[in-house]
Amino acid sequence: MYKTLNKQKKLTSILLLLASLLDLSAKTDEVLESISSELTYFNEIATATKQNEHYQPYIISVFQGKELEKLGISNLKEALGLVPGVDMATDNFNNQTPIFRGSNPSAYGQSKLLIDGVSVNNLFFDSYSEYLSFPIEMIKRIEIVRGPGSKTDGMNAYAGSINVITYAENFEGFESSDKLVFKYGSYDYIMGGFFKTYKTDDLKAFIDFFYQKDNKKLPSGLDGLSQGALGANNIPLSRSGNAPLWLKEYSLGVNLEYKDFFLKARMLEHTNGSAYGINLALPQESDRIKLPSYYLHLGYNKKIDNYKINIAAGIKQDAFDSYSKLAPDNLNLGGIIFEDGIYGEHFAKQQTLYQSSYIKYEGIDRHLITLGYRLAREETIDMVSKLSNRATGDVELVDYTETLPFFDKSAKRNIFIFSLQDEFQLNDNLSFIYGFNYEKTSRKDAGLEPRVSIVYQLDAKNIFKTIYSRSHRNASWQEMFTMNNRARVGSVNLEPEIVDAFEAAYIKKISSDSHFQTNLFYLLNKNQIYNSSSNPEYKNAMDTDIYGLELEYKGNISPLDQLYLNYSYVTGESDIKDEDRRESLSNIAHHLAKGYYIYNINRALSLSGVAKYVGSKSRVFGDTRQKVKAYSTFDTALHYKNKKYDFALTFSVKNIFNTAVKFPSAPNTYSEDYEQESRSFLIAFKKSFK
């Protein structure tokens, strides 16, 4: 009896032990399932925010807004100055544009700018100079893809793309707090702005606003008249002075999400001084150019079983609006003497209507297939052309909109893009992306553009990428439709610029927050569009082969700092079609080196420095001026963060050693090039509200 009871107790103990183990196993499964769920969640966020950029099928750099603020970076333009392989160029409008890997510095639309995923390049220039002053405090993150491999969902990027993400991006657990921003700096610069988030169960609303202005004037040297820009008989009228580069700008952005529907809208009113003059004559201080930009983007996102549906439509409007003194007093034009000079008002308003539909299908194991189209209609909807009386020389403006237009007011273009792409994960180490865009337009077709990308992860610390892609840039409105202009003559027969890009990359992950990356690229550019002062008509003037490398390191020296370094080398040659000759790349810095260092003195205070080297630049063929000199600049910033009252204060000094920085001018224009900012300071204050 006793033995039986003892056996029962042992059996009961075993059963209780098994039950407890089963219960523990169940709990363990629950814990593991919870961890797995959280990892999946964070991975989705990482994918959406490009935080796992090492595994993305293109060459990408990501900069965080808060880190850029610590560096004293003021705006988008300064942030892009940190990107490997990216330099800046400008023209007589001060229409500044980033140059990716030496690709055609005479064109503007070589890269695309997207604000929260909406393309904002204007139609007139195909540029986004008006957005380069976008304050860094309004930016959460910047994702820059170098090369054309970034084109997806009907978006083509010729030399690179820039996606600016504002604080409208709001993941659960990573919500953005409301903020106020104020800044003051050199050139009488002032800025104020805010952003505000509102959230309910079904509705998310975000609004941002900023206003900024300055009184910037920079030395110009003798203007273009000294080089005969308005005729040899007017050379004595040339003058030097300060170019009016002042800025007045405000912007209002709205992002709404309601269940599966979303809306993105922005109004940007951008006005700047007339810089170096439309006709290369130094303008008056009050002369101005307006480049307004408006867009409204509506969309619908829905996941149904293995399908993700995205339907979007939108309208975008932009304009070129100039009022200035185009020529000095006593100008002689065809025997007519303009005693009070020539004044002009030029206005062209463009509109783009678009609609797109895309389906992502993940029902096939290890595949994600994307299929869809994008339709766009681009057109000029208003145009005004007024000048001083060309017959009498009187200063009073005469309406020449019908008789002597500066622009084709009937300009229009229809575009249809079809896209197909497959993301194939062969195994845990190897993935492929392959597909194509096909574009047909009512002007000149770009045709079929394939893309293939391979990402191979040897192990957790070694990643390899190879990419082939083809893309294009359609001619801008200025290049096609400019009329009755001595410096610019449009042509509707322009073919799209085409690039075939071959890229390879190796990434060494040293730790979770440090890595080294090297990129090699070879770019075959065809039909590049160019004009010159001797031949102002825009033409598909050259084919250019470009190759080079980029080295990039991000990490730290100690647990208290952050270090970022990059170096780029680019070279190549162009075949000049009409002249049957080859020439080396012009107006391009072959060597670029950049970096920053942040030292966190304590939890509240940090000190940083930004250094940049830009190599010398050769002139275009026939330009006998000396090379554009190389230069080095150094900036520093002191950043203070008060956690108790949730505010930050940054004091920065730019170009500490007052280095002469010049961007090259076209031949026979401003012979001393375009001088940039000297030493300056900036104070920024940012207050957060929970």
Encode pLDDT of 557-570 as tens digits: 999 999 999 999 99
**257-306 confidence digits (pLDDT tens):** 999 999 999 999 999 999 999 889 999 999 999 999 999 999 999 999 99
Higher per-residue pLDDT: 120 or 37: 120
AA letter at 376: A
- Supply φ then ψ for residue 458, to 5 degrees: -60, -45
pLDDT at residue 18, as a whole number: 44
AA letter at 606: S
User: Containing H/E element for 398?
Assistant: strand 397-399
AA letter at 429: N
Looking at the predicted structure, is the pLDDT value of residue 16 above 70? no
**443-486 confidence digits (pLDDT tens):** 988 889 999 999 999 998 999 999 999 999 999 999 999 998 87
Sequence spans of domains, the chain:
50-211+222-257+278-689
Looking at the predicted structure, is the pLDDT value of residue 321 above 80? yes
Instruction: Taking residues 18-30, report their average pLDDT.
Output: 43
Looking at the predicted structure, is the pLDDT value of residue 36 above 70? no
Asked whether the beta carbons of 495 and 444 are under 8 A apart, the reply is: yes
The whole-angstrom distance between residue 189's C-alpha and the CA centroid of its chain comes to 23
Given pLDDT bands bounded at 50, 70 and 90, which one contains residue 104? confident
| Residue-averaged pLDDT of the chain | 89
Helix (H, G, I), strand (E, B) or coil at 3: helix
Sequence-ordered list of residues with C-beta below 8 angstroms from that of 201, at least 6 positions apart, any chain: none
Asked whether the beta carbons of 585 and 570 are under 8 A apart, the reply is: yes
pLDDT at residue 21, as a whole number: 42
The whole-angstrom distance between residue 409's C-alpha and the CA centroid of its chain comes to 28
The whole-angstrom distance between residue 114's C-alpha and the CA centroid of its chain comes to 7
AA letter at 113: L
CA separation for the pair 475, 124 (Å, rounded): 10
CA separation for the pair 248, 251 (Å, rounded): 11
Looking at the predicted structure, is the pLDDT value of residue 683 above 90? yes
Q: Are strands 242-244 and 247-258 parallel, antiparallel or unpaired?
A: unpaired
State the residue for tokens 């600049």.
633
Strands (E), 293-392: 293-304, 307-327, 331-333, 336-338, 342-361, 367-388
Instruction: Compute CA distances 380 → 152, 350, 400, whole Å.
Output: 27, 4, 17
Given pLDDT bands bounded at 50, 70 and 90, which one contains residue 54? confident
pLDDT at residue 361, as a whole number: 95
Q: Is the torsion defined by CA of 327, 333, 336, 337 positive or negative? A: positive
CA separation for the pair 97, 407 (Å, rounded): 23
Looking at the predicted structure, is the pLDDT value of residue 8 above 60? no
> What share of the chain in percent tops pLDDT 70?
91
pLDDT at residue 11, as a whole number: 44
CA separation for the pair 238, 124 (Å, rounded): 29
User: How many CB atoms neighbour CB 24 within 10 A?
Assistant: 10
Instruction: Compute CA distances 154 → 136, 151, 357, 416, 670, whole Å.
Output: 28, 7, 10, 9, 40
CA separation for the pair 294, 266 (Å, rounded): 6
Given pLDDT bands bounded at 50, 70 and 90, which one contains residue 579? confident
pLDDT at residue 40, as a whole number: 45
pLDDT at residue 583, as a whole number: 87
CA separation for the pair 168, 197 (Å, rounded): 8
Strands (E), 202-333: 203-214, 217-219, 242-244, 247-258, 261-273, 288-290, 293-304, 307-327, 331-333
CA separation for the pair 684, 43 (Å, rounded): 34
Among 565, 555, 495, CA closest to 84: 565
pLDDT at residue 492, as a whole number: 92
Instruction: Taking residues 584-602, report their average pLDDT.
Output: 95
Spell out the CATH class of 50-211+222-257+278-689. mainly beta
Please name the residue ranges forming H helices in 305-420.
Answer: none
**R_g of the chain computed on alpha carbons:** 28
Given pLDDT bands bounded at 50, 70 and 90, which one contains residue 24? very low
pTM greater than 0.75: yes
pLDDT at residue 684, as a whole number: 97
State the residue for tokens 């991000």.
554
Asked whether the beta carbons of 668 and 534 are under 8 A apart, the reply is: yes
CA separation for the pair 415, 407 (Å, rounded): 21
- String of b and e for 65-74 (b: at least 16 CB within 10 Å)? beebbbbbbb
Given pLDDT bands bounded at 50, 70 and 90, which one contains residue 522? very high
pLDDT at residue 154, as a whole number: 65
Q: How many residues are given for the chain?
A: 690
